[in-house]
Amino acid sequence: MPLALLALAVGAFGIGTTEFVMMGLLPDVAHDLHISIPTAGHLVSAYALGVVIGAPLLAALTAHMSRRTVLIALMVLFVAGNALSAFAPGNGSLLAARFLSGLPHGAFFGVGAVVATTTVPPERKARSVSLMFLGLTVANIAGVPVATLVGQHLGWRAAFLGVSVIGLAAIASLALLIPHDHTHAPATGLRGEMAALKSLPVWLALGTTVAGFGALFAAYSYVTPMLTDSAGYAESSVTLLLALFGVGATVGNLLGGRLADHTLRGTLFGGLAALGAVLLLFPLLMRTEWSAALAVTLLGTAAFVTGSPLQLMVMEKAAAAPSLASSANQAAFNLANAGGAWIGGLALAAGFGATSPAPAGAMLAVLGLGVAGVAYAVDRRRVTPSAGRERLVASHVPEQSSALHH
């Protein structure tokens, strides 16, 4: 695999760390800024809003620029957002800085996925995307826990300064390792990129992402009360269990990349079915400590098996102009985060119990399978008529040749 993927993984590691570290630092931030924890929770929403807005917007605005330049510029914006977070004097300025930090997130993964797939042979495209996402999953194992410990012992501002340093390392890696054939502007331009979003298959692929990863976040958003109230874990043990989720996600990400290079749709359908099954079993698995730990690991594995196939499917449906569609898929991931958490919260509010968000997530996984099935049917309908026309033309060629000969 080319070293360019290492540069992309370093950037993904920094983005993954800053995205999730705020969850562990909320009490420290709230205490330091003299705000309530629910108010501090808006800092998480501000980042997600930045991702949703920034993914398609920045991809569109930079469509005329070389992808190498875009990646470096996005990481400069990332460093600026995290540095401003570290020095924010109050809650309002920190909200703005977190929004700024989220802006480059989706566009980086979107453009990065395009670069990753063009640096490898066609039969390794999905694996290349999974190696870029490896930085994101490893961030949940190492980056987030370390940054949280730094924030708890040296202050939350130190954690964001540390993330800024990771961003600087990513900038250096991108400048040194991204091939020079990505220094030229893409031929499609803004008009071509915008045209890609008019395609029904692209929107069906994005819908599969929203439903599929909404299933994950319906349960994962409330996994802490499940582990403490249902499985009986102490709150001090939750951080280690969340690291197990990161391990499962890393395994699923690498497995999904390898499988998708052999069968993209098979991996996607299999991953969504496995995710639905794990979520249905969650209420049973959350009854003992050992089975709860297994459930969290399997959740990460099943969910992230679908990550690379979903990203690659969107890019293939917008093959002529993949950057904007690929970035829009990252916005879809964050819509899934918000929507899944909302649906899981509805199950809790209805009084169905601590583990009820998991079966609600299973229904979203089934919905994802349904949308993916519709996308498959649309593809078959588009391919069959053209294949029939080709066979009809081919059947007339010998007759025409014979007539000319006689």
Burial 309-333 (b: 16+ CB within 10 A, else e): bbbbbbbbbbeebbbbbbbbbbbbb
51-93 tens-digit pLDDT = 889 888 888 888 788 888 999 999 999 999 999 999 999 999 9
Q: Is the pLDDT of residue 393 over 70?
A: no
Alpha helices in 178-199 (DSSP H): 189-196
pLDDT, residue 101, reads 94
pLDDT, residue 179, reads 81
Q: What would the mean pLDDT of 241-251 be, rounded to a whole number? A: 88
Question: Which residue do the tokens 């924890």 mark?
Answer: 37
CA atoms within 13 A on the CB side of 181: 6
Return all residues near 127 (Cβ < 8 A) that are at least 6 apart. Answer: 1, 120, 257, 258, 260, 261, 308
pLDDT, residue 141, reads 84
**Structure confidence at residue 189 as a pLDDT band (50, 70, 90):** low
pLDDT, residue 61, reads 85
Q: What would the mean pLDDT of 120-139 be, rounded to a whole number? A: 87
**Structure confidence at residue 196 as a pLDDT band (50, 70, 90):** low
Work out the angle between the directed axes of helices 264-285 and 200-220 (0-180°, nearest 10).
Answer: 20
Q: Is the pLDDT of residue 255 over 60?
A: yes
Domain map (residue ranges) of the chain: 1-185, 187-384
pLDDT, residue 403, reads 42
Q: Across all residues in the chain, what is the average pLDDT?
A: 85
Is the Cα torsion angle 123, 124, 127, 129 positive or negative in sign?
negative
Is the Cα torsion angle 75, 310, 42, 276 positive or negative in sign?
negative
Q: Is the pLDDT of residue 374 over 80?
A: yes
Q: Identify the top-confidence range among 19-23, 39-43, 297-301.
A: 297-301
Q: Which of 155-159, 228-232, 253-257, 370-374 has the lowest mean pLDDT?
A: 228-232
CATH topology of domain 187-384: Growth Hormone; Chain: A; (1.20.1250)
Q: Is the pLDDT of residue 193 over 70?
A: no
Q: What would the mean pLDDT of 169-181 be, rounded to a whole number? A: 89
Q: What would the mean pLDDT of 159-177 be, rounded to a whole number? A: 94
- % of the chain at pLDDT higher than 90: 37
Q: Which of 179-193, 285-299, 346-360 has the lowest mean pLDDT?
A: 179-193
Return all residues near 27 (Cβ < 8 A) that are at least 6 apart. Answer: 37
- % of the chain at pLDDT higher than 70: 88
pLDDT, residue 350, reads 87
pLDDT, residue 147, reads 86
CATH topology of domain 1-185: Growth Hormone; Chain: A; (1.20.1250)
Given this chain, do its domains 1-185 and 187-384 carry the same CATH topology? Answer: yes
pTM here is 0.79
